[in-house]
A and B are shown apart, each in its own frame.
Chain A
Amino acid sequence: MTPPRRKRPVPPRDHPNRGNGMTGRPGPYAGNNGGAPLGDPAELALRIAKAAESTVVGGIRTARKIVETSETTVFDAVERGVETAYTVIEEYMSRGRLAAGRHHQRHNGSSPMADKPPYTGGGASPFGPMGPFMEPWIATARMWAEAMSQLAPGGAAGGRNWMDQMMAAAPPWWGPAGALAPRLSYEVSSALPAEISATLDPAAYFGRLTVGALTPAGDATYPPIIDVGITSASGHVCVRVAVPDGQPTGDYSAQIQDDAGAKRGQVDLKLKTPAGAPAGGQ
């Protein structure tokens, strides 16, 4: 008797699973399995629609602000939007010019930091002298990334996860997710309890920054704190203050300026009376 002819096994499927690896979903090679099942397309579509509906990020948020301004007409909103966008263009252009100009300056040997890599303030930008030019791209990529992560099924949480991973591997000046501000740190030496803060213009970290002496607020006639410094390297801004012994308690502030002398931010220092000591200055 002839044994039965052998037949091919029935495969679990006969096409690739294109649903894996979508934004916010684990890809097929994320673990040791074949990837999460796609699920019901209708349900997925609903989830996407809901996610999209609730999406408010980056430019969308900007758009909402523009259009929702109840006191203005739509035309006013548009004009403001256009003006804002042109400002953005000009800002980006000026950053490019400024960066190239600084390169030119360094090229001619006039830079006080000529022994260090240009633009980076001695930090190690992976992009070398093109570092400052990279920021707009990074900002753009961030905008795309955030939009995609927000749109993803499951919302921003899944997206943030990979954004965080991206940030972990990113150049130090890339900054935290969701903000274009640089990282700020402080070094304060003071015999008195001190509270320090700084504000920075969003574009501040592109240029070399300087800071003046911390002068007392109001009409106080205390002596200024002159041992103040600021370094800006690859998006990491560090404010350093050494408070001399005997410096009166009170509020002090100093302007942060860029190369061109324009104000780019402010440092505020509050020197406090030690616990148990009598309040008041001096």
Chain B
Amino acid sequence: MVSRQPRRTIAKTSRSAKTRKPAPESEARSGGPTRVAIVGGGIAALTAAFELTRPELRGQYDVTVYQMGWRLGGKGASSRGASDRIEEHGLHLWMGFYENAFRLMRECYAELPPLPGKRRFADWQDAFTPAEHIGLSDRGPTGAWEFWLAHFPAGKGLPGDPIEDHDPFTVSSYLRQSAVLLSELIRSAQTQPDASPDRLMRYGALAGTAAAFEATDFLRQALETWMPSALRAGSPVLLRLIESLAATARRSLEQLVSGDTELRRTWQVIDVILASLRGATIHGLAFDPRGFDALNELDSREWLRMNGASEQSLDSDFMRGLYDLVFGFENGDTERPRLAAGVALRGTMRMFFTYRGALFWRMSAGMGEIVFSPLYEVLDQRGVRFEFFHRLRNVRLAVPVKGEPASVEALEFDVQARVNGGAEYRPLKTIRGVPCWPAGPDYGQLEDGATMAREGRNFESHWESRNAGELAVRVGKDFDFVVLGVSIGSIPHVARELIDREPKWRDMVSRVKTVPTQAFQLWMRDDVQTLGWQRPQVNLSGFVEPFSTWADMRHLIRHEGWKKRPKAIAYFCGVLLDRAPEDGAITAKHYEEERVAVRRTAIDFLNRDVGALWPGARDGRGGFRWDLLVSDGGAPAAREAGEGRFDTQFWTANVNPSDRYVLSLPGSIRYRLSPLDLSFDNLTIAGDWTQTGLDSGCIESATMSGMLAAHALSQQPPLHAIIGYDHP
């Protein structure tokens, strides 16, 4: 009988799976490579490893990566679960302006070692595909949900292409691009199914009136600027009249768009863009040496309000979509949207005006196998050592010496598990030509593996305390430099001495906040068209909180290993209300409570809300059709008829300190420390929580941080090669 299960093999690279790379020299020496200990396996940490081991550096750096648990990826980790289904930490989309991240991946794919059999994603363009549609959701006049799909044309070039003879990161370039975007928004009218003359006329009126409004507003500013102050003071009526004129123009606009949802949405986007341009001009932002950072003490909506954006625009689906994109809700409270204005402005300018190829790119499979498997394979091939199952317990500082800068003396680890025979752990398994991360450790490689499998260890959790031994690596003996690449949520738990020693670190950990997130994934027997979604494959934001973001992931179906294939895969994600203990020490009990809460929220969401997206998913009583959910039938829940079938799906409560999303709150940005900071002369930091130039929680920011960390140790890559670092 032929098995229908996909063939699985351990991914093989150029070295034997049982061969361990030689440890760095144990003796302190003046010559030889510089030994770098990188703690953490997220994108920032691995970028640092990638940069430090570039062939052109001729082996100057000997790198060891220490990672807790069995897999790399940090907040981008994903694994293959039952039926080889992809299970993510959350939803990950790449934006077309992620120049550094795409360049990293392009170089990584170009260097991939051969794989026995055919590699499914051998080229970066196999691994990433354009996602051209953005969906936003909003309640219409009747209170019913309405959905708006915006299509963004292909941007010139591809992300990661060399930037040669133009500079897209200037205020003037953004002004130029704004005209194109505004035009695109207006032009979208003609692509609508009901692009009737009446509609076109309304769009024409919108364009004209809005421009007149701007012209009037400009006149007002001009008078304020030019008119002698004495005259101005003596004639306040003049400015009042001009204000009145601007208000009249705005009123006509609002009358024009009221009752026409589509026109209203278009105007709201335009209003926000114009408010940004207005603010940049009025406040001389373009000439401020601080660049957009000058705004970071303000919330983005607050700043836009100051610059004339209407309340309707500030509460629009467009704005909510932007906040959703960065989980911009303090303490996970969706009633408290908070996002530093400068970070938001820089991010949106980069997002809309400098994307290449497509505004968004989706990964062709899980992030684990699209990003972290290739990075692992390439770094492994370059000779980087990976020490899995090493949980950092403490960064120990050297005894202070007067007149000497502070430095790290040792890194103290708990060894969570030991590999049989002292070999190096081989973490990947190949599924259908894709080296993947399994959902748990390969216990067969571990000492006491059978016991640990029975115990159901969760090596990535904060409370997991299994200790098969301890390891202290020491400066001069085992390493020269440290890249601390753990998440900022973990810093208070592993780097207390650094916080106590250095006030800047204390400020950073107290001001740079994180937030827990939640996500769930559904596999369904009907496709989304059958369920009532007749539009293209989409990533949609602004829907019902907290699961405000839906991604149609149908493209993953063929890469999973179902006996009977589902016809739809849907990911939902959002923030999670922060109920963590004050000290951030998450217990198993707390984690379980949060998982239960996420499950309940998801079930309620499906019963109550998702019908607005998929009318065909409603049962006769208006609840969710639980029979839609697909499982290969292994779990008892698979046989259940009601909401118990939800238990066959995947959901996650990202409450561990290392899992929490990094926020960019107003007033917090200046407390971020740069990887270039020299508070400790043999340590640098890496993560999207650092000062990266972008200063937001995203893959690009993490990549930039990794490059900065590499620069801090090796002066490579040069700072100007970090695209977007030197940005207004």
Q: Bound state CA distance, A119 and B89, in angstroms?
A: 51
CB contact list, A1-51 vs B, under 8 A? 2-30, 33-35, 38, 41, 44, 48
In the complex the two chains form, is A2's CB within 8 Å of B241's CB? Answer: no
In the complex the two chains form, is B674's CB within 8 Å of A93's CB? Answer: no
User: Does residue B223 face the partner (Cβ distance < 8 Å to A)?
Assistant: yes
Looking at chain A, what size class is its interface with the partner chain?
Answer: 35 or more
Q: Bound state CA distance, A103 and B163, in angstroms?
A: 41
In the complex the two chains form, is B200's CB within 8 Å of A129's CB? Answer: yes
User: Does residue A58 face the partner (Cβ distance < 8 Å to B)?
Assistant: yes
Q: Bound state CA distance, A145 and B286, in angstroms?
A: 12
User: Does residue A202 face the partner (Cβ distance < 8 Å to B)?
Assistant: no
In the complex the two chains form, is B178's CB within 8 Å of A18's CB? Answer: no
Contacts of A30 in B (CB 8 A): 166-167
Q: Bound state CA distance, A95 and B170, in angstroms?
A: 33
In the complex the two chains form, is B171's CB within 8 Å of A22's CB? Answer: yes
- Partner of A7 from B245, B252, B289, B681 at Cβ < 8 Å: B681
Contacts of A21 in B (CB 8 A): 167, 169-171, 291, 726-728
User: Does residue B531 face the partner (Cβ distance < 8 Å to A)?
Assistant: no
In the complex, which residue of chain A has the Cβ closest to the Cβ of B713?
A: A8
User: Does residue B698 face the partner (Cβ distance < 8 Å to A)?
Assistant: no
In the complex the two chains form, is A28's CB within 8 Å of B200's CB? Answer: no
Given known contacts A18-B291, A18-B727, is B227 in contact with A63 (CB within 8 Å)?
yes
In the complex, which residue of chain B has the Cβ closest to the Cβ of A130?
A: B187
In the complex the two chains form, is B218's CB within 8 Å of A41's CB? Answer: no
User: Does residue B219 face the partner (Cβ distance < 8 Å to A)?
Assistant: yes
Contacts of A63 in B (CB 8 A): 219, 222-223, 226-227
In the complex the two chains form, is A29's CB within 8 Å of B209's CB? Answer: no
Q: Bound state CA distance, A9 and B726, in angstroms?
A: 21
Contacts of A34 in B (CB 8 A): 718-720, 726
Query: Closest CB of chain B to A131's CB: distance in Å?
Result: 9
Given known contacts A17-B726, A130-B187, is B711 in contact with A11 (CB within 8 Å)?
yes
Q: Bound state CA distance, A23 and B176, in angstroms?
A: 11
Q: Total interface residues on B, using CB and 8 Å?
A: 96
Query: Closest CB of chain A to B247's CB: distance in Å?
Result: 12
Give a binary string over A70-105; 1 marks a CB under 8 Å from any B CB, 0 the rest.
000011011001100110110111111101110110
Q: Bound state CA distance, A77 and B179, in angstroms?
A: 32
User: Does residue A134 face the partner (Cβ distance < 8 Å to B)?
Assistant: yes
Query: Closest CB of chain B to A23's CB: distance in Å?
Result: 5
Given known contacts A82-B241, A133-B186, A140-B215, is B204 in contact with A95 (CB within 8 Å)?
yes
B28-36, B118-126, B574-582: which lies at the interface: B28-36
Given known contacts A67-B223, A89-B212, A95-B208, is B183 in contact with A127 (CB within 8 Å)?
yes
Give a binary string over B686-705; 1 marks a CB under 8 Å from any A CB, 0 the rest.
00000101000000000000
In the complex, which residue of chain B has the Cβ closest to the Cβ of A106?
A: B197
In the complex the two chains form, is B175's CB within 8 Å of A145's CB? Answer: yes
Query: Closest CB of chain A to B231's CB: distance in Å?
Result: 7
Given known contacts A60-B225, A93-B209, is B245 in contact with A82 (CB within 8 Å)?
yes
User: Does residue B78 face the partner (Cβ distance < 8 Å to A)?
Assistant: no
User: Does residue B551 face the partner (Cβ distance < 8 Å to A)?
Assistant: no
Q: Bound state CA distance, A18 and B714, in angstroms?
A: 23
User: Does residue A116 face the partner (Cβ distance < 8 Å to B)?
Assistant: no
Query: Closest CB of chain B to A175's CB: distance in Å?
Result: 14
In the complex the two chains form, is B190's CB within 8 Å of A128's CB? Answer: yes
CB contact list, B157-206 vs A, under 8 A? 163, 166-173, 175-176, 178-179, 182-183, 186-187, 189-190, 197-198, 200-201, 203-206
Between A and B, 17 residue pairs with Cβ closer than 8 Å are: A2-B476, A16-B691, A16-B726, A18-B289, A28-B167, A29-B167, A44-B287, A62-B219, A63-B227, A67-B231, A81-B219, A94-B208, A96-B203, A100-B204, A101-B197, A136-B211, A140-B211
In addition to A3-B28, A3-B30, A18-B289, 16 A-B residue pairs with Cβ atoms within 8 Å of each other are A21-B171, A21-B728, A23-B171, A25-B170, A26-B167, A27-B170, A59-B219, A63-B226, A67-B226, A96-B203, A96-B208, A97-B201, A100-B204, A103-B197, A137-B211, A152-B287
In the A-B complex, list the 8 residue pairs whose CB atoms are closest, starting with the nearest: A96-B204, A18-B291, A92-B208, A27-B167, A136-B211, A100-B201, A141-B179, A34-B720
